[in-house]
Structure 1
Amino acid sequence: MLAYIFGVVLFALGICVSVALHEAGHMLSAKAFGMKVRRYFIGFGPKVFSFRRGETEYGVKWIPLGGFCDIAGMTALDEVTPDEAPRAMWRFKTWKRTIVLAAGSVTHFLLGFIVLYLMACTMGLPNAMIGKAQIATVADCVQNATTEDQVLNPNCQSTGATVAPAKAGGLQPGDEIVAVGGTETKTYSDVTAKIQPLSGPVDFEVKRDGQLIHLTINVAQVERPVSDTSSGSQGATKIVKVGTIGVGFPTYLHYNAVSAFGGAGMFTADMFAQTWDRLLEFPERIPAVVHSIFGGERDPNTPVSVVGASRIGGEAVEAGLWPLFLILLASLNFFVGVFNLLPLLPLDGGHIAVTWYERVRDWVRGLRGKAAGGPVDYTKLSAITMVLVFVGGAVTLLTVTADIVNPIRLQ
């Protein structure tokens, strides 16, 4: 229990640090361009303490669920004093304002990458997401199996065991399978899917020490247990014939300090793609969240709040699954970073959209011989902004409620 509480607190602290650095990204970029930053606070609510350094007040508030960076003249509605007016944010060039507004999300992306880089250098990155088809082990034999125990712990002395096709065909640990039967295989799941329906001699294209070689592997058909979805019984299995060659792929991919940049970069790209997919699926997952609140089974693919993510982080620490804890923390940073760039007010992406609307509008006016227009009147966008704030608040309330009454669990 103590480990669980420690994990929850540690994950929540990680979120607080991420948010604080998000706002620091806005502050530092604004200061770099000469904009006036009035205040930088971590948290909301009553002030705990603050101090002033130069023209900026720094402080902490009691509710550690966010923070803010107060930049003079962020919008035309922001009242500025005469001495602030020349350095008001809306007076700066479009590209500078865009960088300042995007700096928070960029900070999240950097944090996520740093977490993955440190993982790559130490414990390694889970191959389940990258799916690299580099062979880790070559079995001595393959055999029929009617239970999972037999699959995981093959006994080469059992009846029907034969020399593994991979061993007989010359495959070695470290080889990367790049094609099976002339079909490119980018991941180990591609290799498995391609091999399972095959039997007999098959051409394998393998990368070994940077060189491509061709090997002929005699794929064997063996019996394996698989889930029987047609039976209607949960956990039921059936025995099927599948092709196998007797190789194992790495659970984790390990890197040195230099190669970790490439490994973390590939992993980051994959997580970005998954984050975008989750965002597209977000609206259609909300009914399942509501269903789970009223007693329905919680779909593990439904959105979670900070509460739910912290609980999962706590369970990961309790189970000793530190890689899962760190992957969850990195993925949360990527999600927040991408979500914050959506062109919707009051998100940073909404402010960026308004900034570029002004730029394009003034360009068009220039072509027509007219003077540039003034800053966008945010009061005309207030109704849309309030609707989005209401929707966002409702979704947050739903996910927090679901994470309290029917949370997603690791087991």
Structure 2
Amino acid sequence: MQTETPAPPPESVSASATDTETTNDFSGLMLMIAAILALGFLASWGWAFFVVALIFMIFMHELGHYLTARWTGMKVTEFFIGFGPRLWSFRKGTTEYGVKGIPAGAYVRIIGMNNLDPVEPGDEQRSYRVKSWPRKMLVVSAGSAMHFIMAVVLLAVLALFYGVQNGDGAWQVSRTSQASAAAELGVESGDVILSVGGEEVTGFPQFGDLVRARGGELTEFTWERNGEVITDSVVIGTRLTGEGADAFQGLIERDRILAIEGTDVAHWDDILTVLEGREGEFVDFTVDPVGEKFPRVMIDVEILDITSVKNPTVGFFGVGDEPLLDKFGLFGSAWHGVTTFGEWIVVSGQALVQFFTPSTLGNFFSDTLGGGTDLTTATDVAEQREINSRALDIRNPDEERILSIYGAARLGANASFEGQLQLLAILNVFIGVFNLLPLPPLDGGHVAIGTYERLRSVGGRKHEVDYARVLPLTYAVFAFLVVIGVFALARDIIDPINIG
């Protein structure tokens, strides 16, 4: 997200530092507020809240630049949220503050950011370019610093009011699926599963491995409920693998077949028995579809090749997981916010490096174009359902994509309040790191240029970068980021993801 870009030269200012000039026309500002309220009424208040939260993040980023610039004696002529036509503004002293019509970023205009920026002789000592290197670095890094502070605060708030996932991976049952082995056993929300087939459960991923390997087998489960330990056995159910789903036109991986033309089926052998000799026919199935809450009847499912499938199903028990949380006090929560922030900084840096490799970028562009083709030409039921399942199921992680503003807002709008705070913390860390990439026009580009000038000035002779030579790179980077943003937006529309 580009939150600081060059703006048109400010209008001449004759007011003193204590004068205030306010635009009397509030219609533009009222229109923007009305648009946010309409979003809440027509879409959801989750959308409205998250859009406001994103605008606040952008505001805080620019506030960091503004406050440090003023503190270090630099002259700030504009502080605007948004781009395009002015909706509302006022001037106090030498700075014009306001809101513009396109809420896609914000900017603070500091005079003399480079040698191409004309500065009145009387203002030269208040320009960015004459300040010391430490002061320059403080100002250009302040935007990311504000993101980092917000991330730490959000992480601390989450730890204080919601708790933190237990470090040993402990979990409890959050829900059970209908017509599943878990439902047959009577497993309930809040139960803690202790062992499967005599093997101790150490975490939900390992529990999944134990279950998948035992599809169709009578297996002993031990679980705890309100201090009471319960042991019972059940035949673990199954769901289709990709190979198994390919045997039926219209079914996809992770679907569960519950009945065929009214006959209950629990395992692949049951399916083979019911469908013996019926390849090529069209049959009605009752299915528990992946990504949907309730079973449904699928009419006229074509039976393809079911006899040569080698690995048709995997085990399915039918429970969701909810991590057991540790509670922290005020100071413990603050420390957790700091340590988790440090971990996320590393992860965000690694993710950015990975994303901007040629292979990952190539996959991102090709998958986006391919996703668009799939969505517009998917006449096959299974193909369309596979597209939909990617939008609904977090078990299909996609590490080779980046979110647009719309994608982030969509995730936030559909999340719980806790999920919204978590996503805002993640976004703050990522945006803060992203803005420090050493490329103009990002903040990190100013850091790199300022540091280069500092190193070249060692020895007493001041060196100043000629921005006329930097502009082609600036425009190229900006154009590339716009392309990335357009593709990310398209990807989030045609192939959205969900965080749960």
Q: TM-score, normalised by structure 1?
A: 0.71
Using the alignment, how far apart are the partners of 2:330 and 2:322 within structure 1?
A: 23
User: Does the alignment pair 1:30 with 2:32?
Assistant: no
Contact persistence 1:362–1:372 (CA under 8 A)? yes
Alignment of 1:212-223 (within 5 A): none
Once the two structures are TM-superposed, the CA of residue 358 in structure 1 deviates from its matched residue by: 0.8
CA distance in 1, matches of 2:101, 2:244: 52
Moved more, 348-357 or 38-47: 38-47
Q: Deviations over 1:349-404 (max 9, x none)?
A: 011100011111122xx2xxxx5243101110111111111111111111112223
Q: Distance in 2 between matches of 1:275 and 1:153?
A: 43
3-state DSSP class of the match of 1:258?
helix
Kept after mapping to 2: 8 A contact 1:42/1:59? yes
- 1:377 corresponds to which residue? 466
Say whether 1:257 aligns with 2:317: no
The CA distance in 1 between the partners of 2:488 and 2:85, in whole Å, is 26
Contact 2:64 2:143 in 1 (8 A): yes
1:68 partner SS: strand
1:291 aligned residue: 370
Residue 295 of structure 1: SS of its match in structure 2? helix
Counterpart for residue 143 of structure 2: 104
8 A contact 2:181–2:237 mirrored in 1: no
Tell me, yes or no, if structure 1 residue 406 matches structure 2 residue 495. yes
CA distance in 2, matches of 1:118, 1:194: 34
How far off its partner does 1:342 sit? 0.2
**1:356 lines up with 2:451 in the alignment:** yes
User: Is 1:3–1:314's contact at 8 Å kept on the other side of the alignment?
Assistant: no
Are the structure 2 counterparts of residues 225 and 26 from structure 1 closer, same or farther at C-alpha, using a change threshold of 3 Å? Answer: farther
1:68 and 1:111 map into 2 onto residues whose CA distance is 19
Give the secondary structure class of the aligned counterpart of 2:492.
helix
Q: Aligned in 2, Cα 1:361/1:107: closer, same or farther, shift over 3 Å?
A: same
Q: Residue 347 of structure 1 is aligned with which of 442, 458, 466?
A: 442
How many Å separate the matches in 2 of 1:279 and 1:118?
Answer: 27
Distance 2:171 2:370 in 1: 43
After TM superposition, give the deviation of residue 336 of structure 1 in Å.
1.0
Give 1:45-124 correspondences, 5 Å limit. Answer: 45-124=84-163
CA deviation profile, 1:117-147 (whole Å, cap 9, x unmatched): 212221234x2xxx6117578xxxxxxxxx9
| CA-CA distance at 1:26 after TM superposition | 0.3
Q: Give the corresponding residue for 1:310.
A: 409
Is the Cα–Cα contact under 8 Å of residues 275 and 335 in structure 1 kept in the other structure? Answer: yes
Task: Find the residue that maps to 2:102 and give its secondary structure.
Answer: strand
Please give the per-residue CA displacement for 1:138-169, whole angstroms capped at 9, x wherever unaligned.
xxxxxxxxx9954588669xxxxxx968xxxx
What SS does the aligned partner of 1:78 have?
coil
| Cα separation, partners in 2 of 1:136 and 1:313, compared to 1, 3 Å | closer
Shift of 1:76: 1.6
Residue 226 of structure 1, CA deviation: 8.2
**In structure 2, the residue corresponding to 1:13 is in which secondary structure?**
helix
More displaced, 12-21 or 371-380? 371-380
Q: Aligned equivalents of 2:91 and 2:137: distance in 1?
A: 27
Find the structure with the greater CA-based Rg: 2
Task: State how 1:190-269 maps to structure 2 within 5 Å.
Answer: 229=241, 231-233=243-245, 234-235=253-254, 237-239=313-315, 250-269=323-342
User: Could you tell me how far apart the structure 1 residues matched to 2:325 and 2:75 are?
Assistant: 47
Query: Quick one: structure 1 residues 17 and 150, their matched pair in 2 at CA, closer, same or farther if it must change by over 3 Å?
Result: same
Distance 1:61 1:98, change over 3 A: same
| 1:253-312, Cα deviation, whole Å (9 max, x unpaired) | 322222111222233233323322331332343332232222264675222200111112
Tell me how far apart the structure 1 counterparts of residues 242 and 490 of structure 2 sit (CA, whole Å).
35
Q: Which residue of 2 aligns with 1:273?
A: 346
Matched, 1:325 2:420: yes
Say which of 41, 44, 53 aligns to 1:14. 53
Pick closer, same or farther for the CA change 1:270–1:374 going to 2, 3 Å: closer
Separation (CA, whole Å) in 2 of partners of 1:111 and 1:277: 21
Name stretches of at least 5 consecutive residues in structure 2 with no aligned partner. 1-39, 173-177, 188-192, 212-233, 246-252, 256-312, 356-360, 376-386, 391-395
Moved more, 401-410 or 74-83: 401-410
Residue 104 of structure 1 and its aligned partner are, at CA, apart by: 0.3
Assess, with a 3 A threshold, how the Cα gap between structure 1 residues 134 and 63 changes in structure 2: closer, same or farther: closer
Structure 1 unaligned blocks of 5 or more: 138-146, 157-162, 166-170, 172-179, 181-187, 197-221, 241-247
Shift in CA distance, 397/75, structure 1 to aligned 2, threshold 3 Å: same
Counterpart AA for 1:362: S
Identity of aligned pairs, percent?
A: 30
- Please tell me whether the aligned partners of residues 411 and 498 of structure 2 are also in contact (alpha carbons under 8 angstroms): yes
- Comparing 346-355 with 60-69, greater Cα deviation is found at 60-69
Aligned to 1:215: none
User: In structure 2, how many angstroms separate the alpha carbons of the residues matched to 1:150 and 1:404?
Assistant: 36
Are the counterparts in 2 of residues 4 and 314 from structure 1 also a CA contact under 8 Å? no
SS at match of 1:63: strand
Deviation at 1:80, TM superposition (A): 0.8
Q: Aligned residue for 1:185?
A: none
Question: Which residue in 2 is equivalent to 1:132?
Answer: 167
Q: Which segment drifts farther, 111-120 or 292-301? A: 292-301
Task: Give 2:91's aligned amino acid.
Answer: R
Counterpart AA for 2:496? P
User: What is the CA deviation profile of residues 198-221 of structure 1, one whole-angstrom value per residue up to 9, with x for unaligned ones?
Assistant: xxxxxxxxxxxxxxxxxxxxxxxx
Matched residues in 1 for 2:495 and 2:417: separation? Answer: 24
Amino acid at match of 1:290: L
Q: 1:116 to 1:258 in 2, by over 3 A?
A: same
83-92 or 338-347, larger mean C-alpha shift: 83-92
For residue 293 of structure 1, give the secondary structure of its aligned residue in structure 2: helix
- C-alpha deviation, 1:17, in angstroms: 0.7
- Cα 1:253–1:269 change in 2 (3 A) is farther
Computed over aligned residues only, the root mean square deviation of the Cα atoms, in angstroms, reads 3.8
